[in-house]
Amino acid sequence: MIGKMTRKSIAKKDSLIVWKRDRWCCRYCGRPVIFAPTMKMLEKKSPSRGYYHPHWKRENAPLLDELGASIDHIHAVSRGGTNSLDNYLTACWKCNVDKNDRPLENWGEIIDTLPTAWDGLSSLFVYLYHKDSADSTEKVWYRLLNDRKQE
């Protein structure tokens, strides 16, 4: 096997850069995606409503299971793809799971025309952040969302 890349976690900062670049829409199906930390904050406000589950299980969090914002490697790391911004795109959870590590030519196309007036509910996250106590991960997301250097 030729120099297999190691799959690593994608930095939160890089995730936000990609989601904003892709206008919070799945580049495979074009549907709007939802920022999972917003759903987590909503679940804290109204437990057992199905807003959030840490594993995005359909029976516990149907919206995230379908439309949760995720980052996909266009060219899978397991097939020699890189861990870089130009190999990342926004995918809804459903498309990301469905594509798996298949090459793009064996699965579908990348959509280039995306709507402009969607923020993945990230502005709702900022609003809720000010209303509730936040855990350490939510504090990191809040700082990153308010970092104007990314834009």
**Residue 104: per-residue pLDDT:** 87
List, for the chain, all residue ranges whose pLDDT scores fall below the cut of 50.
1
Give the pLDDT of residue 1: 44
Q: Kind of pairing, strands 69-73 and 88-92?
A: antiparallel
Q: Please give the pLDDT value at position 6.
A: 60
Considering only CA atoms, which of 38, 35, 40 is closest in space to residue 16?
35
Q: What is the pLDDT of residue 4?
A: 54
Q: Please state the pTM of the whole predicted model.
A: 0.87
Torsion sign, CA atoms 15, 18, 21, 26: negative
